[in-house]
Structure 1
Amino acid sequence: MTLSPSVERDNEAATRRGGEVEVNPPRRGRDHRVDAMRGLALLMMFVDHIPQNLLNRLTLHNVGFADAAEIFVMLAGFASWIAYGNAIERHGWREGVSRIVRRCAVLYLYQFGLLLLTVLTIRQWRRIWPLPPDAVEPELAHGSTWLWKVLTLDALPNYLNILPLYIVLLLLFPVIYALLRRSLPLGLGISAAVWLLINVDPDVNLPNWLDPDGWYFDPFAWQFLFTLGACGAILTSRHGGSLPRRRWLTCVAWVYLAFSALESFPWTAWGLPDLRLFPMGPPEKTSLSPVRLIDVLSIFYLVESSRWARRASEGRLGQLFARFGRHSLEIFATGTVLDLYARLAFSLLGASWWMQMAVNVVSIALLYGLSLILDARRKRASERARVKRQAPTPTVSGTMA
């Protein structure tokens, strides 16, 4: 699941001096591609979290090994370098780490609130209507033991497991920043080694009371994707806000994504002949298998090296997605609540075409309305801050005794 702050100073320059990565403050025009990708990932996550929703046949996991979660985590690393890396560089470690801790506290409150709302809703619902089998894990449906497990992030049910991942990744960010600041190859190499260890031994994971296999998103593996996102922010800053376009690398990325689409597309579900080159099972998500990793890296490279993608992100449709992406935490949380009630509504009334149309149209409209409200509030806050900066400093007349 970035859930990260809006990217306020995208494309800030970084230089490499004396083996260290330095973050410098010059500003350029805002690059909306990251916000647009994040907003699109949020909408796909909303759709994917309703299993009966036929719209999820059109989301990323049907045309590739990776899905919206991988996109989101990589962009979280990208945005974290800009938001918190620059904060550490400009204001020092104390202020930078303080901002990270405050953000983690907000994420923790959202996680607890969403889980509390889910459990209480399910308990009230089951008194009146039947429940879908995947509504909530049995351990959460009875008693009060779950409360302590939730508070300690030891109970991570389905659809509510990405915020805890992001909390852990943000808490790791000072270490990631220090390593990358010291040496980009060093930081990336250590992160890759940990990821490789998890792929060799998937049992290395954090405990989950609801799943003996541990966290669905193993943070020891997914930190590599987060770190790669931070590296992406460094490299785009070095090259004027975009990754350098290399024809051979572009061709490799497109060929890999075409192969990924052939292998992942649900041919039989659409009543089509199976065009897969060879049978493949779903690639492992918990440990972030290499085929998933290469998939998301290919997408990121093609978007962040494309002038067309930059122009598209500045257009009307791109700005619609970017508006969702600029308020990722609020949109994600609201989408999660809407997902819950959509699943309950489908279990009660069925998942007919009319029902699906109503749920999708109303839910997406609500999310869009929320994004408009949050955008307007953000603009008002920015305007007040600008006026405050431009206000003349009052002078004191007379002499002091």
Structure 2
Amino acid sequence: MQAHTDAHTDAHTDKAGSTRDASRSVPQPATDAQAAVAGGATPATSPGTPAPTRSRRDHRIDALRGAALLMMFIDHIPQNLLNRFTMRNVGFADAAEVFVLLAGYASWLAYGRGFTKYGVLPTLQRLFKRCVQLYIGQTIMVMAYVFTVRGWRHFTPVSVDYLEPELAHGLGWIWRVMMFDALPSNLNIMPLYLVLLTGFPIFYLLMRVHRSLALLLSGALWMLVNMDPELNFPNWLDPDGWYFNPLAWQFLFALGLTASAQTQQRGRDFKRVPALAALCWVYLLFSAIQAFPWALWGLPDLRPFGNTLAPAKSWLSPLRLFDVMAIFYLVQSSEPARRWAAESWVGQELARVGRNSLEVFVVGTILDLYARLIFSTFGEGWVLQIAVNVVGLAILIGLASWLDRRRARARAAKPAAPPPVAVASSPTGG
């Protein structure tokens, strides 16, 4: 769930020697990757022209990802009253779609230029290192879930919903979980991201042949899965396969990659087309009305299609795909959204969370389990509701802030690179 200090962290680090911001809240000179994120990169100025004061870094991707991570923490606690206010209540898509799309966007910034800039082997090494980090994060979450539930049930009954029965006894499940042959509930988005990131070199090669060809093949596979949802990876815990079908969700990841590459090539934001923006708003309004839980709030049901329209999440149905793409376009073509993410306190706090997504996701997923166990053991009263949400969100935001400061100190401790030495040429040209 990305995330993580995953590809988005590498996306803001240039191995040529420039690094991302020393502080999330203090604009620094943009690296190549940062300039690529900044769709509206500041054009070069002519001699004598004052340099623009606005930071070239685009914080919108980080802020969106941070918001998605915090919403995933809230949504994964079924008893949490706060999950009535997350985006899944006002649209077909939810935080998972936002997370995967932005993971693709950031992955291009981290690795897309690497094959030509640093070489094939160094870039593949960076990809391998990131995949190892994701695998370690997944292992930590699985072990925390299994041993916590097994320990908790010695003191009070624990519903099987907290852990698949196959994982509740014995050790025969270990190799299946470690090989991704078995994906427990609420622990299935990290394997998806790992598979997508592993396939990045293949998509990159297709993009080198032709960018449209790569997207066309990816979209064709997505359409095939939507026509036959049984095309999926096997899951020992679920006969239907992976809940997040990688063969379908790879298209959303590919759209993020392509959008990032296009933004980098153009050197500016997506163009704001009024007609397209209006169409996006109309679709999001329809999505909000159709997806809103009217009965939960005791209101008349205003859904135009009632219960007949339920877009599938497992294979990423078109209605969910259009929803997240409409949100993405409106945000990435909005200058006010850029300023809000860069200048507001909320925007910068969300950006901190987004840029430390691996650690935040792992800790948030483990906190989800403890929150569910607390609610099931001690009740779901207002005191616990407030305590669980305040403490949980404070831990995640505080973790992101601490990681920022630690990395800033590590960068400050590194010796500065010596300035280039000018060599005077002799009168004879020697």
Q: TM-score scaled to structure 2, two decimals?
A: 0.85
Instruction: Let me know the Cα RMSD of the aligned residues.
Output: 1.6
Which residue number in structure 1 is paired with residue 228 of structure 2?
201
Structure 2 CA distance, aligned partners of 1:392 and 1:243? 37
Please report how far the alpha carbon of residue 79 of structure 1 lies from its aligned counterpart in structure 2 after TM superposition: 0.3
Which residue number in structure 2 is paired with residue 124 of structure 1?
151
Distance 1:128 1:12, change over 3 A: same
Which residue number in structure 1 is paired with residue 313 of structure 2?
285
Which residue number in structure 1 is paired with residue 89 of structure 2?
62
- Mind listing any 5+ residue stretches in structure 2 that lack a counterpart? 13-32, 39-54, 422-430
Which residue number in structure 2 is paired with residue 12 of structure 1?
36
Alignment partner of 1:339 is 2:368: yes
Which residue number in structure 2 is paired with residue 222 of structure 1?
249
Matched positions, count: 379
Structure 2 CA distance, aligned partners of 1:220 and 1:207? 12
Letter matched to residue 359 of structure 2: E
Alignment partner of 1:329 is 2:358: yes
Structure 2 CA distance, aligned partners of 1:166 and 1:2? 8
Residue 290 of structure 2 aligns to a residue whose secondary structure is helix
Counterpart of 1:359 (choices 388, 396, 409) is: 388
Structure 2 CA distance, aligned partners of 1:56 and 1:140? 27
Alignment partner of 1:372 is 2:401: yes
Structure 2 CA distance, aligned partners of 1:261 and 1:288? 18
Identity %: 53
Which residue number in structure 2 is paired with residue 22 of structure 1?
none
What does residue range 22-101 of structure 1 map to in structure 2 within 5 Å? 29-101=56-128
**Range with greater deviation from structure 2 (1-10 or 43-52):** 1-10
- Mind listing any 5+ residue stretches in structure 1 that lack a counterpart? 15-27, 394-401
Structure 2 CA distance, aligned partners of 1:170 and 1:270? 40
Letter matched to residue 34 of structure 2: D
Structure 2 CA distance, aligned partners of 1:273 and 1:13? 43
Structure 2 CA distance, aligned partners of 1:44 and 1:89? 37
Letter matched to residue 357 of structure 2: S
Q: Contact 1:10–1:241 (CA<8 Å) still a contact in 2?
A: no
Which residue number in structure 1 is paired with residue 329 of structure 2?
301
Residue 337 of structure 1 aligns to a residue whose secondary structure is helix
Alignment partner of 1:166 is 2:196: no
Counterpart of 2:338 (choices 277, 290, 310) is: 310
Residue 166 of structure 1 aligns to a residue whose secondary structure is helix
Show CA shifts across 1:296-347 (max 9, x none): 0000000000001000101211001001001000000000011010000001
Structure 2 CA distance, aligned partners of 1:125 and 1:316? 39
**Range with greater deviation from structure 2 (92-101 or 330-339):** 92-101
Residue 269 of structure 2 aligns to a residue whose secondary structure is coil
Letter matched to residue 110 of structure 2: A
Please report how far the alpha carbon of residue 130 of structure 1 lies from its aligned counterpart in structure 2 after TM superposition: 1.3
Which residue number in structure 2 is paired with residue 263 of structure 1?
290
Distance 1:13 1:295, change over 3 A: closer
Q: Contact 1:217–1:286 (CA<8 Å) still a contact in 2?
A: yes
Q: Contact 1:11–1:241 (CA<8 Å) still a contact in 2?
A: no
Letter matched to residue 2 of structure 1: Q
Q: Contact 1:267–1:273 (CA<8 Å) still a contact in 2?
A: yes
Q: TM-score scaled to structure 1, two decimals?
A: 0.92
